[in-house]
Homo-oligomer: A and B are copies of this chain.
Amino acid sequence: MKSKKVSLADIAQNLGVSKTLVSMVLNGKGDENGISKKTQDRVMELANELNYKPNQFARGLRIGRSNTIGLLVSDISNPFYSKLARYVEDAVSEAGFNLMICSSDESEEKEMKLLEMLLNKQVDGIILSSTLESTDHIESLQNENFPFVLIDRTYENYETHTVVVDNRSGAKEAVEHIIQNGHKKIAALIISPAHISTQIERLEGYKEALKSYQIPINEYYQKVIQREDIYKNICQVIVEWKNDRMMPTALFVSNNQIAIGCLEALRDNGLSIPRDISIVSFDDIDLFRLYSPPVTSIIQPINSIARNAVEILLGEIKSRETAETVTKKHKLLQANIVIRNSVLKLA
User: Is A223 interfacial (CB-CB < 8 Å)?
Assistant: no
Total A residues in contact with B, Cβ cutoff 8 Å: 47
Contact, CB under 8 Å: B98 / A2: no
A66, B286: Cα distance in complex, Å = 38
Contact, CB under 8 Å: B86 / A76: yes
Most buried by B among A75, A144, A287: A287
B-contact bits for A100-125, CB 8 A (1 contact / 0 none): 11110000000000001101111000
Contact, CB under 8 Å: A3 / B144: yes
A264, B290: Cα distance in complex, Å = 7
Q: Which of B77, B121, B291 contacts A82 (CB 8 A)?
A: B77
Which chain B residues lie closer than 8 Å to A287 at the CB level? Answer: 286-287, 290
Which chain B residues lie closer than 8 Å to A1 at the CB level? Answer: 143-145
B-contact bits for A21-59, CB 8 A (1 contact / 0 none): 000000000000000000000000000000001111110
User: Is A91 interfacial (CB-CB < 8 Å)?
Assistant: no
Q: Which of A54-80 contact B (CB under 8 A)?
A: 54-58, 60-61, 66, 68, 75-77, 79
A82, B86: Cα distance in complex, Å = 10
- Say yes or no: A98-B116 contact (C-beta < 8 A), given A82-B76, A260-B290: no
Give the shortest distance, in Å, between A65 (CB) and chain B (any CB): 10
User: Is A19 interfacial (CB-CB < 8 Å)?
Assistant: no
User: Is A85 interfacial (CB-CB < 8 Å)?
Assistant: yes
A100, B97: Cα distance in complex, Å = 12
User: Is A184 interfacial (CB-CB < 8 Å)?
Assistant: no
Contact, CB under 8 Å: B101 / A145: no
Contact, CB under 8 Å: A86 / B75: yes
9 A-B pairs with CB atoms under 8 Å apart are: A53-B119, A56-B120, A61-B61, A76-B76, A76-B86, A76-B101, A98-B117, A99-B100, A260-B290
